[in-house]
């Protein structure tokens, strides 16, 4: 009898220690309503969860800039973790949920993360610290790194919602449960291409095989911008490839006017839901980044991160092509360091490079305004033609920049 009592007591102590260890990794059990809505039409409610209770977040139509805020804060334990995980049950839609962390009480340094809500069963999502995107430029805005300048322990608030740049503000809901620190997180390790950076894409074209191209970018690429309603360079590229190589080309164009490169990185899961492993991903940003204070060295750092993210999320199956930042009529040389940053990042990561800046300065040597619409920033039909031709020439050249 005494032995049985000792055994039971030992088991209870063991369970207690295991529970304490779990609590040490717990960021939020979502078993209390501690999230405050900044929008009167948004709603948070306790529901049955994966583990006890959970919180269901419901967003109304036109939920641009609608957030739930909390006082969740980092601690020293966060610097010993590789990242965190959480459980989500979606509403079955093709929309996405969003997390945002504020850094060190500084609202100019924010980290965004997008996650799918299509699965109506409980799904675990693991997030490495560097998966969070430092969505704004600035001297203090760096990737999170326990051994770097911006440490996870300095994260000072967790918000749930999405900013204006998502463009998807339809009504949606999702339920969250148990957000925990993770000691280790498996991540796809992708090496640089063995050969020329766009060799796989070019080989498919030469064989007349179908390809899929994703064109990340801002208003110079966005089909919804007024300057692009009649003609836009991705459509011209599609036709040029079809005419020359007889290949069917599927173009997925996620570009959104007014956005910056880092915002485009947050939204990668959206186009990846349509094309998990496209043949080619083109990336074209810079004007809005410059307006927001981004400059050369940080732009190069961000582009290196962009190349790495695309390769990692597509398991190394996608070729990556960087388009150098285009000048505008009134900024013919002003943003030159952005173009240099693009070239440097492509060289450092062995990515393809379409030097569209050089192409425009050559084509506009005698009359630059013919390349642009009336606002002298967005492109004319001639400008779109130069863009498409330069991208196709880059694919066909497909030579890795010398180290």
Q: What is the pLDDT of residues 124-171, one digit of tens each?
A: 999 999 999 999 999 999 999 999 999 999 999 999 999 999 999 999
Whether 67 contacts 100, CB under 8 Å: yes
Whole-angstrom distance, CA of residue 183 vs CA of residue 235: 46
Looking at the fold, whether 31 and 134 belong to one and the same domain comes out as yes
Q: Is the pLDDT of residue 223 over 70?
A: yes
Cβ atoms within 10 Å, residue 26 = 12
Q: Is the pLDDT of residue 192 over 90?
A: no
Burial class (CB in 10 A: 0-12, 13-18, 19+), 66: buried
Looking at the fold, whether 48 and 166 belong to one and the same domain comes out as yes
Looking at the fold, whether 209 and 342 belong to one and the same domain comes out as yes
Residue 2, in any domain of the structure: no
Q: Is the pLDDT of residue 8 over 50?
A: no
Q: Which of 182, 209, 244 is the last residue of a domain?
A: 182
Percent of the chain residues topping a pLDDT of 70? 93
Tell me the pLDDT tens digit for each residue of 68-85: 999 999 999 999 999 999
Looking at the fold, whether 91 and 144 belong to one and the same domain comes out as yes
Q: Is the pLDDT of residue 116 over 60?
A: yes
Whether 174 contacts 57, CB under 8 Å: yes
Looking at the fold, whether 163 and 26 belong to one and the same domain comes out as yes
Q: What is the pLDDT of residue 230?
A: 94
Looking at the fold, whether 305 and 243 belong to one and the same domain comes out as yes
CA-nearest of 98, 104, 99 to 74 is 104
Q: Which of 182, 215, 241 is the last residue of a domain?
A: 182
- Cα 90 to chain center, whole Å? 20
Looking at the fold, whether 205 and 312 belong to one and the same domain comes out as yes
Confidence category of residue 400, pLDDT binned at 50, 70, 90: very low
Q: What is the pLDDT of residue 39?
A: 81
Rounded to an integer, the average pLDDT of 95-122 is 97
Looking at the fold, whether 178 and 304 belong to one and the same domain comes out as no
Residue 5, in any domain of the structure: no
Whole-angstrom distance, CA of residue 173 vs CA of residue 90: 7
Whole-angstrom distance, CA of residue 164 vs CA of residue 108: 16
Rounded to an integer, the average pLDDT of 18-25 is 63
Q: Residue 359 is part of a domain; what is its CATH number?
A: 3.40.50.1110
Looking at the fold, whether 176 and 203 belong to one and the same domain comes out as no
Tell me the pLDDT tens digit for each residue of 267-321: 999 999 999 999 999 999 999 999 999 999 999 999 999 999 999 999 999 999 9
Q: What is the pLDDT of residue 22?
A: 64
Looking at the fold, whether 155 and 250 belong to one and the same domain comes out as no
Confidence category of residue 403, pLDDT binned at 50, 70, 90: very low
Residue 403, in any domain of the structure: no
Which residues on adjacent β-strands are paired with residue 155?
103
Looking at the fold, whether 161 and 244 belong to one and the same domain comes out as no
Residue 35, in any domain of the structure: yes
Q: How far is CA 371 from CA 300, 308, 328, 335, 337, in A?
A: 26, 32, 9, 17, 21
Helices (H) and strands (E) in the chain, counts: 10, 17
What range does the domain containing 167 cover?
Answer: 22-182
Q: Is the pLDDT of residue 194 over 90?
A: no
Total structural domains within the chain: 2
Q: What is the pLDDT of residue 202?
A: 97
Burial class (CB in 10 A: 0-12, 13-18, 19+), 312: middle
Query: What integer best gives the mean pLDDT of the chain?
Result: 93
Q: What is the pLDDT of residue 118?
A: 97
Whole-angstrom distance, CA of residue 132 vs CA of residue 217: 20
Residue 369, in any domain of the structure: yes
Residue 124, in any domain of the structure: yes
Whole-angstrom distance, CA of residue 181 vs CA of residue 128: 10
Residue 314, in any domain of the structure: yes
Confidence category of residue 360, pLDDT binned at 50, 70, 90: very high
- Full-model pTM: 0.92
Q: How far apart are the first and last CA of the chain?
A: 75
Q: Residue 156 is part of a domain; what is its CATH number?
A: 2.60.120.430
Residue 28, in any domain of the structure: yes
Q: Which of 121, 156, 182 is the last residue of a domain?
A: 182
Looking at the fold, whether 209 and 146 belong to one and the same domain comes out as no
Rounded to an integer, the average pLDDT of 347-357 is 97
């Amino acid at each position: 009898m005494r032995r049985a009592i000792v055994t039971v007591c030992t088991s209870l102590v063991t369970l207690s220690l295991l529970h304490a260890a779990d609590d040490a990794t717990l960021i939020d059990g979502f078993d209390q309503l501690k999230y405050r809505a900044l929008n009167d039409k948004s709603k948070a409610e306790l529901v049955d969860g994966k583990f006890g209770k959970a919180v269901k977040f419901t967003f109304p139509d036109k939920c641009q800039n609608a957030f739930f805020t909390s006082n969740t804060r980092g601690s020293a334990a966060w610097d010993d973790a590789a990242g965190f995980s959480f459980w989500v049950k979606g509403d079955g839609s093709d929309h996405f949920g969003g997390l945002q962390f504020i850094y060190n009480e500084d609202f100019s340094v924010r980290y965004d993360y997008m996650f799918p809500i299509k699965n109506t069963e409980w799904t675990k999502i693991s997030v490495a610290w560097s998966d969070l995107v430092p969505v704004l430029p600035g001297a203090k805005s760096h990737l999170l790194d326990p051994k770097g300048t911006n440490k996870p322990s300095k994260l000072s608030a967790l918000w749930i919602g999405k900013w204006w740049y998502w463009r998807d503000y339809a009504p949606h809901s999702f339920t969250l449960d148990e957000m925990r620190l993770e000691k280790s997180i498996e991540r796809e390790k992708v090496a640089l291409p063995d050969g020329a950076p766009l060799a796989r894409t070019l080989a498919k074209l030469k064989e007349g095989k179908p390809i899929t191209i994703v064109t990340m970018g801002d208003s110079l690429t966005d089909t919804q911008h007024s300057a692009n309603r009649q003609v836009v360079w991705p459509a011209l590229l599609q036709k040029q490839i079809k005419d020359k190589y007889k290949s069917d080309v599927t173009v997925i164009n996620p570009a959104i006017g007014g956005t910056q490169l880092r915002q485009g990185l947050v939204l990668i899961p959206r186009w990846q839901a349509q094309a998990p492993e496209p043949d080619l991903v083109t990336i074209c940003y810079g004007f809005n980044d410059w307006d927001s204070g981004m400059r050369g060295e940080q732009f190069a750092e961000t582009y290196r991160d962009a190349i790495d993210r695309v390769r990692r999320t597509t398991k190394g199956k996608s070729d990556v092509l960087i388009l150098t930042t285009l000048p505008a009529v009134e900024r013919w040389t002003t943003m030159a360091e952005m173009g240099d940053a693009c070239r440097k990042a492509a060289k450092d990561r062995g990515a393809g490079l379409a030097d569209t800046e050089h192409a425009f300065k050559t084509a506009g040597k005698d009359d630059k305004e013919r390349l642009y619409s009336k606002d002298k920033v967005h492109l004319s039909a001639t400008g779109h033609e130069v863009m498409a031709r330069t991208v196709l020439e880059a694919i066909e050249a497909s030579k890795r920049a010398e180290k």
